[in-house]
Chains A and B, each alone.
Chain A
Amino acid sequence: MSTGVATAASPSPDLFALGRAAQAACWTATGGRGFFACNTFIATSLPMLTEATGRGLRGVLRLSVTAEESAQQQERRLDQLAEQVREGLVLDGVVPTPEEECLGLATLLFVARCRLALTGVPHVLVDLDCLGPKLGQLALGFGADELCGPIVETRALRLGDNAGNRAITRAEAAQLLRGAGLRAFERMAGGRLEEFAP
């Protein structure tokens, strides 16, 4: 897979072209729907993923990204994973996860590359615990379609000891999805999807 943009040789990546391509691919895959779930099991390795799907769990894999990896290296890694999916690996979603000092733009570009490279993987998830709600929502404009992480029914006001609590409520998750132009669906037990009423 080569997106033709944002390579290591290019200090000014065409952020907008890559973002638009990934967003279009996301809309094709999801029909403009965005998802969130209060509990998502995320495998951190392929053996763990295989074991999880073997036990009937949803197959979601964490994919790390560091600032040191070049665009070409990322694309090669994603191509290999896409090939494994074509060969039968059960993978319903990936969670791009920045490590060390990986900054906002690098994360968004990796989210977009995941969407464009992994055409056989239906979902690109955003881990709100890692990205926070702000960058998480931005990622929805770069090919991600699902929020996971600390999503709760109710949260006390952010006062005193609770200031800095990163959890968001189900309604706030739905609002983040709608703010990014997606229809909000909650992933319920057993994989059932329910549209979250505004």
Chain B
Amino acid sequence: MTLASISEKLSAGIPLSFDDGVALFREPDLLKLGGLANQMREQLHCDRTTFNRNLHINPTNLCVASCKLCSFSRRSPEQPGAYTLSLSQAWDKLRARTDSGDPVTEVHVVGGLNANLPFDYYVDLLEGLKRLQPALHIKAFSAVEIFHFHKLYRLDVREVLQRLLAAGLGSLPGGGAEIFAPRVRQRICPNKCNADEWLDVHRTAHQMGLRSNCTMLYGTIETIEERVDHLLRLRTLQDETRGFQAFIPLAFHPDNNALSHLPPPSAVDDLRVCAVSRLLLHNIPHIKAYWISLGIKTAQTAQWFGADDLDGTVQEEKIYHLAGSDAPQALTPAEIIRLIRAAGRTPVERDTLYNVVAQGEALPACALPAGARP
């Protein structure tokens, strides 16, 4: 398997195989690999890089899962740093953002698997956010949380989703997929739902007309083959439902967790995962360089290695920062636009469903003019 033969397959529109995926991960020439991914990225999205204005709310970090990879969760309310937001505290986060004159189009809500909260807490949370800003898109609850609600409250996954939809849910985030291989899952997150359960939640959501994202956590103990298997399982579900909007490669961060003896993945690995996922996941429209996970500099570079989206302005991200991310807590739209333009790309503000919100002169001014050199 050579890069040339893989390139021919891509030109002919033939989906890449498992062996192709492994060969791409083993390709020593990162720039050649990047060039190939960039070709596909530019065929799909030209030179556009999208972003949105969003706010993260993590309602609780109390969690029954005890995943080794996590720096965010706390087992009991007595542990230092444990918290559960009251509903008004959670709503105030959105209110503060609206009052600041920098409103968001999306709220991203994810949290721990809290065994002590009633289901109504989550329903009320969404309803309150919608009351504050009716046009807001709420992207909330990873498949792992939805599955936890299903088990804890003894409701079908479909019923959980129906009740959240009625409360204002707009789409699902892609977190919690980690790595599908049971060998890895057993060691890094044994108490989370398994791969089939994770995929089934997304399948159900897609069947109900919801869109979602998907992710892969890399850089712990997984093999290249396990990464490829993970990506291909996502691709297979996408063939079936067409419900995934974006794939987000998530780099493992080792600070403050039970895997802190492991080194973080290198930038070469970050860009390689980004490029290979662009090439393998031909049926998933967007590859997101999540700057909180990659760091600003690597995320900016990833726009030339397959990524066409930089996520959003974020604000108050907790999960990665507790694991050692040195990215800022938030970026302003002008800062994101600058990052994109400085990489020689054209910024486009989008909403959660990738509809264009603003582009060209409608975007806020930033220090670096369009067309300036990186």
B373: contacting residue among A13, A104, A160, CB under 8 A: A13
Chain A 66-80 per-residue mask, 1 if CB under 8 angstroms from chain B, else 0: 010011000000000
Kindly name the residue among A23, A105, A137, A172 whose own CB sees the greatest number of chain B CB atoms within 10 A. A105
Q: Is the CB of B304 within 8 A of A15?
A: yes
Q: A12-B344, A163-B256 known; A67 and B368 CB under 8 Å?
A: yes
Nearest-Cβ distance from residue B247 to partner chain A, whole angstroms: 20
A window 12-26: CB within 8 A of B: 12-13, 15-16, 19-20, 23
Q: Chain A residues with Cβ under 8 A from B138's Cβ?
A: none
User: Any chain A CB within 8 A of the CB of B324?
Assistant: yes
User: Any chain A CB within 8 A of the CB of B183?
Assistant: no
B window 252-301: CB within 8 A of A: 254-256, 260-261, 263-264, 266-271, 294-301
Q: How many residues of B contact A (CB 8 A)?
A: 44
User: Any chain B CB within 8 A of the CB of A192?
Assistant: no
Q: Chain A residues with Cβ under 8 A from B339's Cβ?
A: 103
Q: Is the CB of A157 within 8 A of B260?
A: yes
CA distance A138 to B256 in the complex (A): 26
Q: Chain B residues with Cβ under 8 A from A70's Cβ?
A: 373
A103: contacting residue among B263, B269, B294, B300, CB under 8 A: B300
B260: contacting residue among A15, A131, A159, CB under 8 A: A159
Q: Is the CB of A7 within 8 A of B31?
A: no
CA distance A135 to B266 in the complex (A): 9
Q: Is the CB of A134 within 8 A of B266?
A: yes
Q: Chain A residues with Cβ under 8 A from B30's Cβ?
A: 141
User: Any chain A CB within 8 A of the CB of B35?
Assistant: yes
Nearest-Cβ distance from residue A130 to partner chain B, whole angstroms: 11
B window 328-354: CB within 8 A of A: 339, 341-345
B326: contacting residue among A16, A67, A164, CB under 8 A: A164
Q: Is the CB of A138 within 8 A of B268?
A: yes
Q: Chain B residues with Cβ under 8 A from A136's Cβ?
A: 267
Query: Interface segment, A42-50, A52-60, A175-183?
Result: A175-183
CB-based nearest B residue for A105: B374
Using A106-B374, A135-B301 as known contacts, list a sample of 13 further A-B pairs with CB atoms less than 8 Å apart, ordered by residue number in A.
Answer: A11-B341, A11-B344, A11-B371, A13-B344, A13-B373, A67-B368, A103-B339, A106-B342, A109-B374, A132-B297, A134-B266, A138-B267, A163-B255
The 15 sampled A-B contact pairs (Cβ below 8 Å) are A8-B372, A16-B38, A103-B297, A103-B374, A104-B297, A105-B300, A105-B304, A134-B295, A135-B295, A136-B267, A158-B324, A163-B255, A179-B266, A179-B268, A180-B268
